[in-house]
Amino acid sequence: MYKRGELSVIAGPMFAGKSSELLKRLLFLEHSGYKALVLKPLVDDRYDPDKIVTHNKLSHPAISVIDLELVKDNYTIKPYNFHTVFIDEVQFFDPKETLWFVEEGLRQGVNFVCAGLDQDSRGIPFDTTARMLGLADEIKKITAFCNVCGQVATKTQRLRKSGGRVNVGGAETYEPRCHEHWESK
């Protein structure tokens, strides 16, 4: 029987540095000689379909997947294979499937680091991120700077009202805002 793994969750608005924090932890782990599995949702193809890429172009190879069930089918998530599984943009994965995948890995003794938006541009929490926050052993809630006034930003502002809830984009579509300058879109 393995010691239970630990779950760290990095959450906040767009442009807060969630992926940068995930990459910092990943590089430190790899530098220490541990093996990691790095995952991202296939829908996030903004910069590179086969890499986690930050808005300032830092990157690391990743496996793009439609759902985490496919990962389970193709990889044995055990401590002798992976010390830690890193999941970027966790909000884009199915909540129940993600909870099952992470919980099963934790029971096997594998650590997880998940990064994602805590809420959408309307201020509604993403269910998957919320479930990961509830399960987390460590939470790093980070903020950005408001593009209007420079104060602490905890919201993501959609610049144009278009598309559905999930509308993958970058600085051309979204910007961080404080409560005062944010409006639901």
Q: C-alpha angle with apex 168: 41 to 184, nearest 5 degrees?
A: 125
Q: What is the pLDDT of residues 74-108, one digit of tens each?
A: 999 999 999 999 999 999 999 999 999 999 999 99
Q: What is the pLDDT of residues 123-152, one digit of tens each?
A: 999 999 999 999 999 999 999 999 999 999
The catalytic position among 69, 89, 138, 175 is 89
Average of per-residue pLDDT across 38-58? 87
Catalytic site residue 89?
Answer: yes
Question: What are the start-end ranges of the H helices in 9-74?
Answer: 18-31, 68-74
pLDDT at residue 165 greater than cutoff 70: no
Domain CATH number, residue 92: 3.40.50.300
Burial class (CB within 10 angstroms; exposed 0-12, middle 13-18, buried 19+) of 180: exposed
Of residues 53 and 15, which shows the higher confidence score?
15
Q: Is residue 153 part of a domain?
A: no
Domain tally, the chain: 1
Global pTM value? 0.92
Q: Is residue 20 part of a domain?
A: yes
In Å, the largest CA–CA distance within the chain is: 53
Window from 9-18, 118-127, 166-175 with minimum mean pLDDT:
166-175
